[in-house]
Structure 1
């Protein structure tokens, strides 16, 4: 007697089996995956959950939603000095998405594009249909030489503080996206007025950075060789700097005139409401790290070789907390230093 194939099995084979190219994924036909770890390597694992209308808009392009979900995890792996290898995907999506061949095909294609770009493979996961809010959880893993994972707790007084790329693009991009989808009246008036004054090219650039983070996987070897501590910037530069300082039991001093902004945003003043958003808004997915003073030149050379921009934005000192020094030499204060799910 021939029984019909389960709908979930058909769904998985249609949209995700082609992504499971590693032998250990068994074509997504088994209950678990088999992961082989090379000799003298540690397995580094990280997971992040994205919720519709919290981390992405339900109206965002499906391919971009998929890529963002994967890339925020790859950012964590890169910050540990690890080479990304694979990931598991848990999907909880409304019926309207799961029954839309167009939506699911675009979502799957986005993952396929990034698997090619970052040389990772889907290893397994789960799919669940829900009534309303979509939730996407990815668990990514990578490898690093045994005992060499770069943690948050290694910064020491005298180290220099660096950040990759540019800060604040995605936080502004979130506002651009919200205004485009739901109208400027959904944004605080002062912020809306500041956004209107921005160049259209900057608006497009920041929205793109919100939709599609750029995980700095190429900096991993430089972190392994030179960084004393590192983490990715996901909840806002100031807040994440405080997290690193607390983990290392040190203080960090940041100078706003050394923070890297995209072209067109470098003119933001210390009094600008947009600068505050750039420093505390999050979604940067850049890497914040500390480097011993004697290794800074080598670290910068390694970053150049990897074609990743790094900026020296401050230093580590004894004490606790984070000081942010404005252009006038005075310390800035923030009512909220980062995005907080529990505030």
Structure 2
């Protein structure tokens, strides 16, 4: 049992993936955990991002701690990949309330989740901070800062680079995480037995570890991307605002998650409800990118040639269009999807009551 924050760090975090330490020196690591700060000799362009996960905001109390360890890093790595950068190092900060002190049943699998995800993405934990919060009702808060190096020096993926005529493409499937969260809030999850619930939970929080390999190809053909963390409509709108364009989005082409579709009857929900979750709830951490038709053909050709990317799904869901009246819009549209016209397979505009475009920390979302 740890007696202070230093023994806590030593027990759970100081020895994660020791085999990566030697590899990390080749990427510029001079000194990792154990001193006042890590030392890194950085060469090249780095993307740097920070995310915080707060109990009962980003994860439920009693959530699977191994999956939480995965998720803690996945949300940050997703940001790096969306910038065209390869994860190199992370720092971890924990605000630990009383009830989590001496909670080995939580910290041991949490640390294993971190370890597995670090290994999957060839990344190293190099430092951080531990704070004990004595207030009884305080939530557990987990913060990570992640550093990633551009796959191609001088090239990055940015939100302001979408061009009129580009196709809008998304990786993976949509809606699983939104359905899981919704079923937890309305308690529909009780309709699944324990094994089915565990299986769906693992599926809903799965992150494709091949994303890095895919992005290493993508940066050769695209200049614009964003990760879907808060909701497809709102996150695409961030691109549209910064690129000063509009978009057509074909709702019938959206890759709705097949496992989630198979559970709709148990949750007493319609496919339209899953469609709404796919458009406006976050958490799937897919990548949305814009790309010319010619470059998409080249990218798809490379994908087919890569054995380890066999089955990696990308789906064209829309097109970037001109925004002649852009000056009439403002940044408040970045979460309401106001620059997006939703169409069907015949490119006919449709009206769908879908609510907010993405998760918003400043309003009630459920």
Q: TM-score, normalised by structure 2?
A: 0.80
Give how far 1:257 is off. 1.3
Alpha-carbon distance in 2 for matches of 1:240, 1:324: 15
Moved more, 216-225 or 263-272: 263-272
Determine helix, strand or coil for the equivalent of 2:45. Answer: strand
Question: After the TM superposition, which residues 296-311 of structure 1 pair with which residues of structure 2 at under 5 Å, given as runs?
Answer: 296-304=296-304, 305=306, 306-307=309-310, 308-311=312-315
Equivalent residue for 2:205, pick from 201, 211, 225: 211
Give the secondary-structure state (helix, strand or coil) at the position aligned to 1:225.
coil
Q: Which residue of 1 aligns with 2:334?
A: none
Segments of 5+ residues of structure 2 without an aligned counterpart are 327-338
Please say if residues 162 and 314 of structure 1, whose CA atoms lie closer than 8 Å, have aligned partners that are also in contact: yes
Aligned to 1:189: none
Q: CA deviation at 1:199?
A: 12
The aligned runs of 1:281-300 (5 Å cut-off) are 281-300=281-300
CA distance 1:92–1:298, change in 2 (3 Å): same
> Deviation of residue 107 (structure 1)?
1.1
Check conservation: 2:17, 2:115, Cα contact below 8 A: no
8 Å CA contact 1:161–1:288 kept in 2: the answer is yes
CA distance in structure 1 between the partners assigned to 2:284 and 2:116 by the alignment: 21
What do the CA deviations read for 1:37-92 (whole angstroms, capped 9, x no partner)?
24xx2111111111111111121111111110100101111111111111110111
| Cα shift at 1:147 | 2.2
Who is 1:141 aligned against? 147
Q: Does 1:336 align with 2:340?
A: no
SS of match in other structure, 1:28: coil
- Please tell me whether residue 96 in structure 1 is matched to residue 99 in structure 2: yes
User: Which secondary structure does the structure 1 equivalent of 2:53 belong to?
Assistant: strand
Give the match for residue 53 of structure 1. Answer: 56
Look up the match of 1:237: 232
Q: In 2, Cα distance between the equivalents of 1:153 and 1:58?
A: 38
Q: For this pair of structures, how many residues does the alignment match?
A: 324
Distance 1:118 1:277, change over 3 A: same
User: How many angstroms does 1:205 deviate by?
Assistant: 5.7
Pair 1:211–1:69, CA change in 2 (3 A): same
Equivalent residue number for residue 324 of structure 1 = 342
> Is the Cα contact below 8 Å between 1:20 and 1:28 reproduced in 2?
no
Residue pair 1:173, 1:209 contacting (<8 A) in 2 also: no
- Is the Cα–Cα contact under 8 Å of residues 84 and 141 in structure 1 kept in the other structure? yes
Once residues 261 and 252 of structure 2 are traced to their aligned partners in structure 1, the CA distance between those partners, rounded to angstroms, is 9
Counterpart for residue 331 of structure 2: none
The alignment status of 1:172 with 2:169, answered yes or no, reads no
Q: Which runs of 5+ in 1 are unaligned?
A: 185-191
The 5 Å alignment of 1:1-343 reads 7-19=4-16, 21=18, 22=21, 24=29, 26-38=31-43, 41-130=44-133, 131=135, 132-144=138-150, 145-179=152-186, 183-184=187-188, 206-214=200-208, 216-263=211-258, 272-304=272-304, 305=306, 306-307=309-310, 308-319=312-323, 321-326=339-344, 329-333=348-352, 334-343=354-363
1:293-323 per-residue CA deviation (whole Å, 9 max, x = no partner) reads: 2211111223342332100111111015111
Matches of 1:115 and 1:35, distance apart in 2: 18
Distance in 1, matches of 2:206 and 2:36, equals 32
Q: CA deviation at 1:233?
A: 0.4
Residue deviations 1:200-226, cap 9 Å, x none? 999766532433433622221122101
CA RMSD of aligned residues (A): 2.8
TM-score by length of 1: 0.86
| Post-superposition CA distance 1:262-285 (Å, at most 9, x none) | 225569999822321221011110
Cα distance in structure 2, aligned partners of 1:148 and 1:90: 30
Counterpart residue number, 2:330: none
Alpha-carbon distance in structure 1 between the residues aligned to 2:274 and 2:194:
16
